[in-house]
Structure 1
Amino acid sequence: MENRFIPVNEPNISKSDIDYAYDAVKSGFWSGTSGKYIKEFENKFSKFVGTRFGVSCSNGTVALQLAVRALDIKGGDEVICPAFTNIASILCVVYEGAKPVLVDSRKDTWCMDEERIEERITSKTKAIIPVHIYGHPCKMDKIMKLAERHDLKVIEDAAEAHGAEYKGKRAGSFGDINCFSFYSTKIIQTGEGGMCLTNDPKMAEKLQSLKGLAYGSTNTTRFVHKDLGYNFRLPNISAAIGCAQMLKIDGTIRKRREMADYYSKGLKGVVGLQLPVEMPWAKNVYWVYGIVVDEKRFGMGRDMLMEKLLKRGIDTRPFFTSMSLQPAFHRVGLFEKDRMPVSEWLGRNGLYLPSSSKLTKSQMDYVIRTIKELVV
């Protein structure tokens, strides 16, 4: 075995990130209540995506929760969500007392199947949360038309899709509120962090208030709270790193796409592997490079492949387990009778390979060669 270890992902840190963070530290403004970098990051990222307003927060999960709360979704309401997603896309609905309603995935893009949404809409439905899975956008025109026809709000979960595009328009610019994560493996990384984007000035103001404990608007009324807010602020130091990350976002996306192209060319023709797609109407930013293993054709299952790759120094991660199979939700009476065949199939058979922007061709060659050697 070669003496090497290739992590599944790595933070993309450069000198500018350190310089910006150090400047924020020197300024004395460390928290999320003050400091120049918070507004600067909000402005730069919202402009990049193509929306008018950005409201930063402490992570992507709470960005989604803020969106649900700001849209006044509550107990008795239903929200359409994909079954194949990170659990955060469902928790945001549960935390606010509403009921998530699952929709299965497409087999090609792994995103929510837009053709299955309408059958899940009821008189209680208030919103749809499309999730752009692993960097590939959902088919947003269909979703937006459905929302308009049924008078529903749309909360885009673009946590994994910084810079992805649907028909030339960036993911995270379609919905009423659009949510991003800046976790340390994402395309833009602040360690932890998130943001809500919107074109509605009143909604932006509401989000800003809710994320900061809904303090009063004047000095004398600061501690008079007219709403039940949260402490979901993004620290100025994290925002400073976000500003530095914005300097290289185009290059980071280009590297992710080059990584995917290299893997796809190297793994093309390997029997029993489904590789990620980029539909003609999409720009996929490949937050991660996922593959789906057909055990009978490939010669071994997903779990065994992951184990063998790890023994050879190649780190991987399994795909998300379908929300329909989550014990935590079953315990509270959710999804026990739901069957989501595509999402469950993806969760059993999918994994993603090392996907860092720092990956070298030598490392990818080693991953490709090892997979081919393991084919039975």
Structure 2
Amino acid sequence: MKALCWHGKHDIRCDTVPDPRIEHPRDAIIKTTSCAICGSDLHLYNGFIPGMEDGDVMGHEFMGEVVEVGAENKRLKVGDRVVVPFTIICGECDQCRRGNFSVCERTNRNKPTADKVFGHTTAGLFGYTHLTGGYAGGQAEYVRVPYADVAPVKIPEGVSDESVLFLGDILPTGWQAAAQCDIQPDDVVAVWGCGPVGQFTILSAKLQGAQRIIAIDRVPERLALAESLGATVINFDSVNVVEALNELTAGKGPDKCIDAVGLEAHATASLDSVYDRIKQAVMAESDRPHVLREMIYVCRPAGILSIPGVYGGLVDKIPMGAVMNKALTIRTGQTHVNRWTDHLLERILAGDIDPSFVITHRIGIEQGPEMYKTFREKEDGCIKTVITF
């Protein structure tokens, strides 16, 4: 089969690899009909996340048709259409029973390594390094899905792939980012980053009742899309973000701040961003936390910081004194996808949400390597790419 495979920094290739097979009775094999390139895939492409190996199959946003099921999988049958969440969950451990699916205790088959790096293991993830299990990803014609009798979301007939594909990651990620803020009717919510996750975060904050949403980015088409959702926008290349946010909030600062950027903040004019890039270059720091520092500084006292943006390792110069003295609450984590999928699917089917509004490019898998470059450089108006088979 064809698959997009990692061969090193900035080296994604469309390779021919062996078809997956059933390895456990709870498995299923999915014939992919649609998948997507995610912003967090760029962290792998840019070499910032450890644990990738030559030839690893990329991708964690995918859906398709069940073509084979293991003997113990009684929930799925051949022919079912499913969206597969990027988090691999057992459904039985203590964390799964609590709904904390992204920290499932059983599905990371490289648990000893994750225990050493993180202190305790997190869930296995599709296509996202050997620290999270080394599972082959979904940018491929076929995918083996472990524990497939738990997580996959069945899709009714007559519903297009583009309407539901993002249930596997970025739509629940945006929803959780907003939900972690405990949004109140008079809240001002600031969202850093207007990529796909940022757009769904803005939409989710709106649906969850925020009085006002302020979106920060510098890419014109992303800012325009955020504005179309009702956000007030700030171009960080044109104005000082802290000054603008204080002006827009009568000097109080946003009540809730959401980091939809993560480890590759692209601020260029600030001293701390220069500092981060120098430390990255000499491998003294893995992540660039400019947005995180900015949120801590500008957030209203007793506010909440929500961090859906991915961080991979070590960050420096975090103002913990401000966090403590301002009584800020920080909530973060990979998305507990299955906590939100039933509700979000209902809203899609009811016509309340149409997630396809973020799609700008549709390609075949052979165009994937070049599209990674286009997405990274934010060229050709690229916000979200879907690969169809």
- Give the TM interval when normalised to the shorter protein: 0.3 to 0.5
Bigger strand fraction: 2
Comparing both chains, which one has the higher relative contact order based on Cα–Cα distances under 8 Å and sequence gaps of 6 or more? 1
Bigger helix fraction: 1
- TM-score, length basis structure 1: 0.33
